[in-house]
A and B are shown apart, each in its own frame.
Chain A
């Protein structure tokens, strides 16, 4: 059988890839895709521990994480569309409304 540390390392690598994507991409859609990567990394962790501990709570929480991810995508893409309508760009360097 696969030891659980392999799953943890896999999800850590995917999560780090998401963090790198959030930090280095300029396209705001790519940043949201990187956030999806991080959410999937936590889902892998939840399911691996659910199988390891024989407890269904982890899978139920993946279900809730899916719900929150769907809500986040809907609101995030609506914000992107509103931003694109007002600024006509999706480069994050151009958005300085809340910068000080």
Chain B
């Protein structure tokens, strides 16, 4: 059953991520990225990360993708039918890596399988019982300082976005 779910989610993630790159229209790319985010959230649920699945849908699908669609609509993007001339470099970089991952999938999958016994055991699990509670406790005790730094990152990003998108930054006033 879990293999079935993993196969569905993985197949949809791969197909929609390829569609994000392959589709010409940025609106269609953003929408297929939306489908991919939902399937990544489903994959998180099968990995016992329910809180992250909810956050994935709220933040990525709810906030980030809407921001992308806003900008696509504002800028009134013209279609570009051609790909960049760097596609040879992309092929040289990615085709060997892809072949390597296929080799890993065919050959090395069984060897790594031995260490995964802790998945079904779930020893008095921080993960198994209440995901949100456990993440909250970890986030506010062990990772308290990175949490505060993350808030600073968000503040700087907000100020930077406002400054960059202000009217008098560009050369020409329209």
Contact = CB atoms under 8 A, between A and B. Distances in A.
Question: Does chain A bind chain B?
Answer: yes
Interface of A: 1-10, 12-14, 16-21, 23-27, 29-30, 32-34, 36-37, 40, 43-44, 47-48, 50-54, 56-57, 59-60, 62-64, 66-75, 77-82, 84-86, 90-93
Q: Mostly helix, strand, loop or mixed at chain B's interface?
A: helix
Given A27-B26, A29-B26, A52-B116, A14 B89 contact: no
Contact of B90 (A24, A54, A57): A24
B98 to A, nearest CB: 6
18 contacts: A3-B110, A10-B13, A10-B14, A13-B101, A16-B98, A17-B14, A29-B68, A29-B72, A29-B75, A29-B77, A37-B33, A40-B40, A53-B118, A59-B131, A69-B59, A74-B158, A78-B163, A84-B75
Interface string B33-69: 1001100100110011101100110011001100110
Nearest to B153: A71
A78 B161 contact: yes
A14 B17 contact: yes
A82 B91 CA distance: 32
A57 to B, nearest CB: 7
Contact of A56 (B20, B84, B135, B158): B135
Nearest to B89: A23
Given A13-B98, A63-B135, A24 B154 contact: no
Given A16-B101, A63-B52, 12 more contacts: A4-B116, A6-B105, A18-B17, A23-B90, A25-B21, A47-B44, A54-B122, A63-B135, A66-B55, A77-B71, A77-B161, A78-B165
B90 to A, nearest CB: 4
B6 to A, nearest CB: 5
Contacts of B120: 1
Given A18-B17, A79-B164, A23 B87 contact: yes
A63 B109 contact: no
B172 A17 contact: no
